Amino acid sequence: MDPTAGNTVLDAARGLSSAEVAERVAAGKTNAYASGSSRSAWNIVRANVFTLFNGIVGACFLVLLLVGRWQDALFGLAAFGNAVIGCFQEFRAKSALDRLALLNAPLARLRRDDAEVSVASGEVVLDDILVLRAGDQVPADAVIVASRALQIDESMLTGESDAVDKGPGDEALSGSIVVAGEGEGRVVKVGADSYANKFADEAKRFSLVRSELRSSIDRVLKWVGWGIGPIGLLVLNAQMMVAGGWVTAVQTGTWEQAVVNTIAALTAMIPLGLVLMTSIAFAVAAAKLASKQVLVNELAAVEGLARVDVICLDKTGTLTAGEIEFDGAHPLTAPPAGWEGALAWYGAARDANATARCLAVPFPAEGPRDVTAYVPFSSARKWSAVSFGDAAPGTWVLGAPEMVFGDAASDASTALGSRVTTLASSGRRTLVLARTDGGMTDESVEAERLPEDAVPVALLTFREQVRSDAAQTLTYFRRQGVGIRIISGDNPRTVAAIAREVGVDVDEGYDARKLPEDDAALADVLETSLVFGRVTPEQKKRMVVALQARGHTVAMTGDGVNDALAIKTADMGIAMNSGSAATKAVARLVLLDGQFSHLPDVVAEGRQVIANIERVSMLFLTKTAYATALAVIFGLLVLEFPFLPRQLSITDGLTIGIPAFFLALLPNTQRYVPGFLKRSLMFAIPAGLVISAALTTYTLGAMALSVPEPELRTGSTIILAIVGIWVLTVLSRPITRFKVLVIGAMFVALVAVFTFPLTTEFFQLVDPGEDAAVLITIVTALTIGAIEIVRFFHRRYVAKALATA
């Protein structure tokens, strides 16, 4: 007997004719789809180059070049570095998004002119008849018109780990995979209208990762931006007045020095180095993580995981390896002869599904069998049957216990039900092998009717392969106070069992089909429930948004296309390298070797970046504070600005920029606490006001002593250099051997700058004179004492803030 008997006969439709295909091609009804870029190159360059601050710095740079003072234009290098690093990281993210593709099958199999042909997937047209066989990817949305044991894996799209039976009238989504059987489908959506391409377009909408460091720095730049215009005019007016007034300055040419002084004041206000240092710290952390098989799609992502307080995990492919494995056979009585051979046949069957194929290893087939009747497995009826006519005749049934034996398989008071419920409660997928002596009739095969008088022979258990490092990593996150939510498209009980296996204390999963539509009610459920099953892709995204609305910083992990939107929406998206191209493209981090155990490394790197940037930000923001205060004070008092731009480059480089580079890369395991900008400003503003008061006092004192302008500028530079070294030392505590080396090297470099003729000539440094030296010493000593007082109260403030966090 033909083993395919009883199945739907495949449609013998001719398919479209050549003329009909040409007509649809002319009408543009093809599957060709040219996806737009996620973000244009011009938009990236414009966002990183044509900014307010780059405009200010660029204009200042150009003015200095025009007046022949290129020596004072060194600050332009920081702006150039910022633009290059910013463009690089966004071009990298753009490249990943532009490679996004859900459809990767190069050829589609079609029926045209009553013949089977293969064409490129882009040449499929509306109403084409797709010929689908195991291993094919569906190239366009279709409706099944004929099938034989057709099963399609939609897990990458829906999250449902089981393959789905497809019969006439059912929908086959583009991007899904045929895993068993064969069939034909009529194309109903092509190109931009298909599910896969719509999903890709949604995922490719560009967005930057949320970064407290970046947003805080942007806030500072915005504040400075509001003030830089009026302060610049105030300073320029003061410098012109010092030069003898606007008319005199223009006539005598002294306006050039007035402009240079104004540029020195303005560029000192902008913490360009802080932006550059943050980008460098991110880049170094990304490089270190790359060596640990963690790909960072966007530099600021290394900060993100350190801020996460809820992590949402997809089960299939994330907590588990996404594969089913045979667990064991549990005979119910003395098994009859041939039971292992029946299992071997099921494991080797041509249309075996993923669960049945697991039987091939423990029960290897010994040769072909005489099959007299066969009903293939269907996920709708959840059983399969085969009759043999050889040395071990009879009919063998393999399927879900409750579908083969009804209530007896779920009643714990029966022998079968007791064993089934015990095994199922452990989270293992359970099937029953049953036998009856007689063979199936043509009528029973055609009606797909269970054989009568079947007797249970053995229970078979299967389990998903849980990743070996999943439990360990989840334990780490729980210890760090990070909440865990397990979200899957699979059965809630199955998800709950896996959750228990990786250490999550939960009795049963929440069926997402019962989730409330109201966002506030949804958030309430998410605060109390930990495990969710039957979750759709749209629900995953809603769940992430609901958690964010409650003030949580959310991470989402996954590997399927169904996870892509949630991963993109989350504050921190993490994809497994085994996942789809769409998921990896929108994720911030990709675990290249699929090992969860790397996530603590990412947390450590993120904490290091945040803690160290908080420390160095106090250096840069202190400079912004005293530069702004000096500009306002000297503008109001109509005093000549006490520095040349090149002289500020000395203190910028040796007391802030270079040491900040080393400090930003030191190991640091300090726990992340929100509010780094406020803590930084609580030191920077008082310290900046102290320094600006000291420099103003020195300038007024030097003017009273009739100290010449070159000597006055040199004295101001000496005070700022020494105080800057002291601020560096204060913020570096506790002092380690390495920090002593860095600070000592900076001090030696400062001494060299003030000593060697080549540097003194370039930076226009001279002997400040005996009278000025005494004033310098007094002012410097008093300023250092005041800085210590500021730091004392700042440390108390920070300790109190961390204690209440």
Catalytic residue positions? 314
Sorted by sequence, the CB contacts under 8 Å of residue 62 that are 6+ apart come out as none
* CA-based nearest residue to 404, from 374, 428, 430, 426: 430
Sorted by sequence, the CB contacts under 8 Å of residue 161 that are 6+ apart come out as 155, 315, 316, 322, 464, 488, 489, 490
| Angle made by CA atoms 78, 80, 84, in degrees to the nearest 5 | 115
Q: DSSP alpha helices (H): ranges in 637-708?
A: 645-651, 658-663, 676-704
Percent of the chain as helix, strand, coil, to the nearest 5: 55, 15, 30
Number of H helices, E strands in the chain: 30, 21
Count the neighbouring beta carbons within 10 Å of the beta carbon of residue 10.
16
Phi, psi of 375 (to 5 degrees): -115, 110
Residue for token pair 């250092």:
784
Residue for token pair 């498209």:
489
Which two three-digit tokens encode residue 298?
């966007």
* CA-based nearest residue to 182, from 226, 223, 129, 249: 129
Residue 428 burial by CB count (10 A; 0-12/13-18/19+): exposed, middle or buried?
Answer: middle
Calculate the alpha carbon distances from 85 to 19, 74, 290, 317, 789 in Å: 54, 18, 18, 34, 38
* Contact yes or no for 416/409 (Cβ under 8 A): yes
Q: How far apart are CA 630 and CA 238, in angstroms?
A: 12
Q: Taking each helix axis from N to C terminus, what angle separates 676-704 and 212-242, rounded to the nearest 10 degrees? A: 20
Sorted by sequence, the CB contacts under 8 Å of residue 191 that are 6+ apart come out as 30, 31, 32, 33, 197
Strand order in the sheet with 310-314: 294-296, 589-591, 572-576, 554-558, 310-314, 483-487, 531-533, 510-511
First to last CA, the chain: 75
Which two three-digit tokens encode residue 53?
């601050």
Count the neighbouring beta carbons within 10 Å of the beta carbon of residue 218.
13
Computed on alpha carbons and rounded to an integer, the radius of gyration of the chain in Å comes to: 36
107-112 and 129-133 strand pairing: antiparallel
* Amino acid at site 12: A
Give the distance, in angstroms, between the CA of residue 88 and the centroid of all CA atoms in the same chain.
Answer: 17
Phi, psi of 432 (to 5 degrees): -120, 140
* CA-based nearest residue to 480, from 607, 596, 570: 607
Its sign, for the CA torsion 319, 322, 328, 331, is: positive
Q: Which helix (H) or strand (E) holds 209?
A: none
Q: How far apart are CA 439 and CA 448, in angstroms?
A: 13
- 435 forms beta bridges with 396, 455
Sorted by sequence, the CB contacts under 8 Å of residue 236 that are 6+ apart come out as 258, 259, 262
* Amino acid at site 118: S
- 374 forms beta bridges with 386
Sorted by sequence, the CB contacts under 8 Å of residue 536 that are 6+ apart come out as 158, 159, 489, 512, 562
Phi, psi of 777 (to 5 degrees): -60, -45
